[in-house]
Amino acid sequence: MNKNTETFLQMSRENLSKTISSSLTFNDTREEELINFTSFFFNTHISILFKYPTFILLTNMHSSMGYSTQSFSCLCLLLCFVCIQAQDLQTYIVQLHPHGATRTPFSSKQQWHFSFLAKAVSSGEQDSSSRLLYSYHSAMEGFAARLTEDEVELLRECKDVLSIRAERRLEVQTTYSYKFLGLSPTREGAWLKSGFGRGAIIGVLDTGVWPESPSFDDHGMPPAPQKWRGICQGGQDFNSSSCNRKLIGARFFRKGHRVASMTSSPDAVEEYVSPRDSHGHGTHTASTAGGATVPLAGVLRNGAGEARGMAPGGHIAIYKVCWFSGCYSSDILAAMDVAIRDGVDILSLSLGGFPIPLYDDTIAIGSFRAMEHGISVICAAGNNGPIQSSVANGAPWIATIGASTLDRRFPASVQLGNGKFLYGESLYPGKKVPSSRKSLEIVYIRDKDKGSEFCLRGTLSKAQVRGKMVVCDRGVNGRAEKGQVVKEAGGAAMILANTAINLEEDSVDVHVLPATLIGFDESIQLQNYLNSTKRPTARFLFGGMVIGKSRAPAVAQFSSRGPSYTDPSILKPDLIAPGVNIIAAWPQNLGPSGLPEDSRRVNFTVMSGTSMACPHVSGIAALLHSAHPKWTPAAIRSALVTTADTADHLGKPIMDGDAPAKFFAAGAGQVNPGRAIDPGLIYDIQVDEYITHLCTIGYRNSEVFSITHRNVSCHDILQKNRGFSLNYPSISITFRKGMTRKMIKRRVTNVGNPNSTYSVDVVAPEGVKVRVKPRRLIFKHVNQSLSYRVWFISRKKIESKRMSFAEGQLTWLGVRNKATKVRSPISVTWASMK
């Protein structure tokens, strides 16, 4: 197969993945199953095309479809042109030296950027500037443009070009959760101390916003802060009057998406060319972070309560970067570039992919610039759990958030014909629909060639399912979509059965027909019952909403896990927050299931994912910023990490499945806003310390420059900073072959009472001896900093072919104020490589 064909195949695979994945609702947390299915479908079908020359295929089209010779010739030319364009032109992000010598002759940075295109693009093309998509100035110096591979190679040789990165496509990854986290409008705590986040500006990069949602009502809100420089960008069904004192700004970025997605949205949902949200994900996350108070909020009379964002007094700025085909890195970087200049205080990014090196990661690079400007960047850890080292957005200047559960349940049990009960959950309003409780015959159609066990479109026969309760396995297509497929085939109800991949994960949906989700253990019991009788039957028992009767929080199974692939010396994720079955605002162009066919309309719906966990922490970070406006992003992250809870609401360890959660799953633990607002001590980090850290983990000078825009010599830095360890609030130690001792240094700053004394308490990891010096810290005034050292001595032999891990913790306890506990998790790794 020649190179062009391989390129075409790869592009076709990617486009097919985009097309199929776009049919999923964003709250489907098993997208890796979809990708596997896409690859299988492509490899078994598309190869047929390459058994025949293209000309034969076109000739067959000519004869069978009745084209005239002239029309056919035009068609051939058009197809050839499109193929050449599709194969040759791609979007690249070109990073330039911020103080480049070639900049001087040009009147503006954009003209400077144009000059590089003029050098690279063929002289036969009259207007090379049309290739430019974005000019970047704040998040990075450089531009995004459509280029061929040859043009990329020419640009690489140009002076002041630091790096060129191909476009990367990322994916988007609460009536009760504020109460679950201990936030109260009446008791003294984080809300009252911060004025409910008053004055803080939360920038949300997502799918846009539905501005008419009651969660964005600005009643009682003050005007935007004077520093705000953003705009309310008009567009399709969106104008400047769509913004208010709550929703103070909105922009959209689609150039990267537009050139990468040559076709229109594959579903029936209209894609608004404006900040207006077509998919609901952005409306949901924005309202979770900073939504206003909305009484009597719920989903079709389920989960009713008073909805509030984490920072209900904060302002929201929307940056729409995600579209039907995903979120493109050129658009994301453009949004971060503008948000920095607009004056946001918090950036919330519920999007990401699998981890890549920091110097290739546009989010890591853009967030470094944001951090330099005092902006806290909060990112989702990703939904690729429980795969080890799947955690994304792992830069040490980013707060990386995993997902946890609530103690709120929506029981919808299945009573089998033999009298046994299977526990399930659903947000279908079955309690209000008497017919949903009828006993029905169960069918489970297994045709692996068609995928009927997954209830894929076109795989269910009406003759087999009409009027029956259909069992659908999870995987491949969206959970709610399966119910629509059953409904269209004439089925009366659905049991959605978890597989060995999903285990007991309980992400619920607002199904379009009576349905419930059962765990893997219940799925096995259901199969046993189906095999035991010729005419199995069942009925549903919908229980509404139940609070406080289940253990929580627990780590969501889909939440991505550490250790960090990009930087194992930093413990990621940092912490967890509610991300399962979160009820928040929803647009009026979609039904609560998110399906185009769903004609129901609601102001709120339920979603699950680290996408939902991220804005919880973004809102809480806004509270900390309001209460402590001079704190750095590192100080805010430190307060969140060192005060996180390691126990659930029953006082028992937070669980991950059937076992206590490890740090690689839960980070420091569950976010606790009440304690984070007054942490006692913080671990602050200066910008130069991040640079030193990048040198210590082996980054080259050019790679450090790509991230930081600082021209440094790592050799000199390492010589001056022997034994350096980043002043991170968590501790991660690796013993490689031949190592038995390691020392780290930490520095804590008093942000509590002026005269404070702390004593250390250490729970040593198994196989490690830990010594701390000094064991007591005495502070005389606020903002005083003191240092301590920790020695780790390994008593364990390193196994030759595998890594092993152990955990412990180091806590500074207030001597006078016993309630103040500043806890750092300790993670130890033994690796066989040197």
Catalytic residue annotation: 206, 281, 611
Nearest to 658 by CA among 579, 560, 554: 554
Instruction: Give the Cα separation of 598 and 83 in Å (integer).
Output: 37
Nearest to 246 by CA among 321, 309, 181, 340: 309
Place of tokens 């705590």: 189
Instruction: Give the Cα separation of 308 and 180 in Å (integer).
Output: 12
Amino acid occupying residue 539: R
Lookup: tokens for 69: 């010779």
Nearest to 761 by CA among 706, 709, 808, 800: 808
Kindly tell me the burial class for residue 3, based on how many C-beta atoms sit within 10 Å of its own C-beta (0-12, 13-18, 19 or more).
Answer: exposed
CB-based contact 617:669 (threshold 8 Å): no
Angle between the N-to-C axes of helices 362-372 and 687-696, in degrees from 0 to 180, rounded to the nearest 10: 150
CB within 8 A of 105, min separation 6: which ones?
Answer: none
Instruction: Give the Cα separation of 230 and 128 in Å (integer).
Output: 30
CB-based contact 269:207 (threshold 8 Å): no
Lookup: tokens for 191: 């809300």
For 733, phi then psi, to 5°, come to -120, 135
Instruction: Give the Cα separation of 596 and 602 in Å (integer).
Output: 14
Instruction: Give the Cα separation of 606 and 285 in Å (integer).
Output: 11
Instruction: Give the Cα separation of 347 and 311 in Å (integer).
Output: 14
Lookup: tokens for 46: 């598309």
Instruction: Give the Cα separation of 16 and 324 in Å (integer).
Output: 13
Instruction: Give the Cα separation of 666 and 579 in Å (integer).
Output: 12
CB hemisphere CA count around 154 (13 angstroms): 12
Instruction: Give the Cα separation of 683 and 483 in Å (integer).
Output: 49
CB-based contact 305:297 (threshold 8 Å): yes
How many residues make up the chain in this entry?
A: 834
Nearest to 131 by CA among 111, 117, 115: 117
Nearest to 276 by CA among 210, 201, 329, 321: 210
Instruction: Give the Cα separation of 667 and 576 in Å (integer).
Output: 7
Q: Which stretches does DSSP call E strand in 459-574?
A: 469-473, 493-497, 515-518, 537-542, 546-547
Lookup: tokens for 810: 């180091």
In a 3-state reduction of DSSP, which class is residue 334?
helix
CB-based contact 553:406 (threshold 8 Å): yes
Kindly tell me the burial class for residue 72, based on how many C-beta atoms sit within 10 Å of its own C-beta (0-12, 13-18, 19 or more).
Answer: middle
